[in-house]
Chains A and B, each alone.
Chain A
Amino acid sequence: MTRTPKTPASGKGGIQRRQFMMGAGVAAGAAALGMPRLARAADRVEISFASAKFQGTETIGNVVDTFNESQSKIFVKYIELPPPSSSTEVHQALVQQLARKNGSPDVFTQDVIWIAEFAAAGWALPLDEYFGGVKSQFFDGTIDACTYDGKLTALPWGIDSGMMFYRKDLLDEIGAKVPTTWAEMTEQAMKLQADKKVKFGFLWQGKQAEVLVCDAVSVLASNNAAILAADGRSSTLATDKAVEAIQFLHDTINKYKISPADVLSWDEEPSRAPFTGGEAAFLRNWSYVYVLAQDEKSSKVPGKVGVAPLPHFDGGKSAGCLGGYQYGINANTKQREAAVEFLTWMASPETQLRFALKMGIAPTRPAVFDDATLGKEQPFMQSLKTVFTGATPRPKTPKYPQVSLAAQSGISRALVTGKVKEELEAAAKKIDAIVSKA
């Protein structure tokens, strides 16, 4: 059941609301007062929507207001959670609410890595019945991340992924093309370093933290390897392909010397600073770096930075680690119809475009990237379509937090000690013990 979503008509909301109030026969006095709260007439279904706080020139609250004003059946109450940077707190807040199983919040947004956990706990309503038909309109990677145990339990909202930033000017100088394989990138990075054009060839993030898992997933998947087997019941971190991929990360520091050993303690920002300072040729990072790189005041490389999908191994394909927030419906909601209608509107191309333009949240529908307004106002976001097409989710398991901690420890050990195979075997054993209990 895909309903045609009502286009958010900004500016006309007030008129629509007044029309509704007269039509619904609400007390004339209330209409004269014109108080928005009074629009919550008794015959409107009320649902709650909890989301991490995103902000731009508009807030999520503004978008929810538009929905409330655009129709007369549903009233959505918006509950603001901490921003995504306080991921642990957002997760806790959602888990505590959902575990009560009282149907509140009816609709919520979640980080991609929690989808399996919420689905396995029975907190997320399977959405195939309502959104199965429109699945093909979203990026494959996001639909994959939103699917657990064969069921669609989340709906894509915003996407980000790991990507490669490179110095256009330097590649031109040595007459090189944008690298598509790790070998090409290594060769170019070594040359630029040898020519003293840059201090560092390639920067990435090796701090023992979630970002290490993201970097690892990117190299693993680009060599057809993964942390977990497809069924999520065992670890494949010690396979030859996986060892080869992690060995490459180790080699960037110790063999090719295109990365400083400091990357082992760097997360996003410490690795970003040398790049925008003009000292590095290649950088793996998220989309936020672009804006900082173009900033005339703080960046030494405005206009010289290009973005491309991350390289891959021979026989593999590029695989940026998928990030972003997705929608979910509480399995215990008492207002299923209303929740579905609200989500249909929120996930519509029109609303996605508004999120992109006003809050910088990249759409999960490839079609929205082709919009002319987006091209005019956010040309960089538009150029990321190819990058997002190859985005790969992190391991899907309800025990993700534990698996992630074990993977962080094991991969960090492998990178620091250089005993890649041994350490990955030990980590795989630990991860096996965690997921086999599930």
Chain B
Amino acid sequence: MTARSLPAAALAGPPRGAGWSMPRLAPFLFLLPIAVALGSVSLYPILNGLWLSFTNTSLVTQEHDFIGLENYAQLLGDDLFWNAWRHTVYFTVVSTLAETALGLVMALLLVERFAGRSIVRAAMLVPWAMPTVVTSKMFGWLFDGQYGVVNWALRESGLIAENINWYGSIDHAMTTIIIADVWKTAPFMALLLMAGLQTIPKSLIEAARMDGAGPVATFVHVRLPLLMSTLLIAGMFRALDAFRVFDLVYVLTGGGPADATETLSTLSYKTLFSALQFGYGSAMATAMFITEALIALGFGFFIMRKMRAPR
């Protein structure tokens, strides 16, 4: 039925290369659209960014020469970059841990049956569905040093004597941004973990109960071990996302005060689009990419081990 088994027919038809008969070509043809799409919107920009990071391209000075590793050498000695790098890593670790813990608690509550559960589940997702810029503005007012409701509540309850300057002091600015991020993204973690909890067979939990395990023991010995791979995957998603934090910082503090909330995204945005230093900015973006790859690799290692481990 194929052209290969009928050489005469092949001769009669239009000439074709031996390996490129239709059935062989078909899978590649089907893959072509996605390959072109991914290549043009994903692969090409990454490679081009990498190439730019080896040049001194700047729209302002109109230079565009290959300078090898000079940008990276400068980056290693740039304390603004390391300052932003440290803040980004700190933000990622703290916000991911807080969101995972809070998300887990929310998921455990919402997986139980109670009246009005579906309404609570839907309401829980509202913070996550909100545009981050809106969240930022909202938290800007909530934590406003003079007129914010947070300071008012703390003052009224006697916890503080004087208003806390949430965004204007180096000690509190990053914490405030993390609080805003946790409020916004904990529901996302809860959603992922809830899905994981629902895959745990009820029979296991019932069996544990029959053996006399209380809710805590059931959680520690049955649910948590079975939820581990979901936890790791959700944590990886969150960490990679948190590492790129931009809108909250940009709207709330602009990276200040005294660079105390500068993150890699805001710094590379400033370098790329305010100063128009495409070369140096791309080196920064590449450094970000490498750090993210390391984070993903770390999570990937544990996830693979977890999945391969015999149950």
Binding site for B on A (CB under 8 A): 88, 91-92, 95-96, 99, 117, 121, 206-209, 260-267, 270, 273-274, 398-399, 401-402, 404-405, 408-409, 412-413, 415-417
| 18 extra A-B contacts, CB within 8 A, seeds A209-B254, A265-B253, A273-B147 | A88-B273, A207-B253, A208-B253, A208-B256, A261-B169, A262-B146, A264-B168, A264-B169, A265-B173, A265-B257, A401-B274, A404-B274, A405-B270, A412-B257, A415-B258, A416-B169, A416-B258, A416-B260
Q: Is A412 touching B258 in the complex (CB atoms < 8 A)?
A: yes
In the complex the two chains form, what is the Cα distance from A187 to B166 in whole Å? Answer: 28
Identify the closest chain B residue to A404 (Cβ). B274
Looking at the assembled complex, report how far the CB atom of A241 sits from the nearest CB atom of chain B, in whole angstroms: 23
Is B255 located at the chain interface by the 8 A CB criterion? yes
* B259 on interface, CB distance cutoff 8 Å: yes
- Please indicate the chain A residues that have their CB under 8 angstroms from the CB of B145 in the complex: 260-262, 265
24 residue pairs of the A-B complex, CB under 8 angstroms, read A95-B60, A96-B59, A99-B59, A117-B60, A206-B168, A207-B256, A208-B253, A208-B256, A208-B258, A209-B254, A260-B145, A261-B168, A262-B146, A263-B168, A264-B165, A264-B168, A265-B165, A265-B167, A401-B60, A401-B274, A402-B275, A409-B259, A412-B256, A415-B257
Given contacts A95-B276, A398-B60, A264 and B270 within 8 Å (CB-CB): no
On whether A262 and B165 interact (CB within 8 A), knowing A95-B276, A402-B275, the answer reads yes
Interface of B is mostly: loop
Q: Is B277 in contact with chain A by the CB < 8 A criterion? A: yes
Secondary structure class of chain A's binding surface, majority of residues: helix
For window 34-81 of B, CB contacts with A under 8 Å fall at 59-62, 80
Q: Does B170 contact A (CB under 8 A)?
A: yes
Chain B residues with CB under 8 Å of A398's CB are 60-61
Cα-based distance from A25 to B275 in the complex (angstroms): 52
Inter-chain contacts of B259 with A (CB < 8 A):
208, 409, 412-413
CB-based contact B256/A417 at 8 Å: no
B277 surroundings in chain A (CB, below 8 A) = 402
Q: Is the CB of A88 within 8 A of B274?
A: yes
Please tell me which one of the listed residues B165, B253, B256, B274 contacts residue A261 in the complex, with CB atoms under 8 A apart: B165
- Cα of A126 to Cα of B202 in the assembled complex, Å: 80
Contact of A262 among B61, B168, B170, B255 (CB under 8 A): B168
| CB-based contact A405/B168 at 8 Å | no
Given known A-B contacts A274-B146, A416-B169, A209 and B276 have beta carbons under 8 A apart: no
Q: Is the CB of B253 within 8 A of A417?
A: no
CB distance from A272 to the nearest CB of B (A): 13
A405/B275 contact (C-beta < 8 A), A264-B169, A265-B167 known: yes
Q: Is B144 an interface residue (CB 8 A)?
A: yes
Cα distance, A209 to B251, chains bound together (Å): 11
| Given A208-B259, A209-B254, A416-B258: A401 and B168 interface contact (C-beta under 8 Å) | no
> From residue B239, how far is it (CB to closest CB) to chain A in Å?
27
Interchain nearest-CB distance for B56 vs A (Å): 11
Query: A209 to B138, alpha carbons, bound, how many Å?
Result: 20
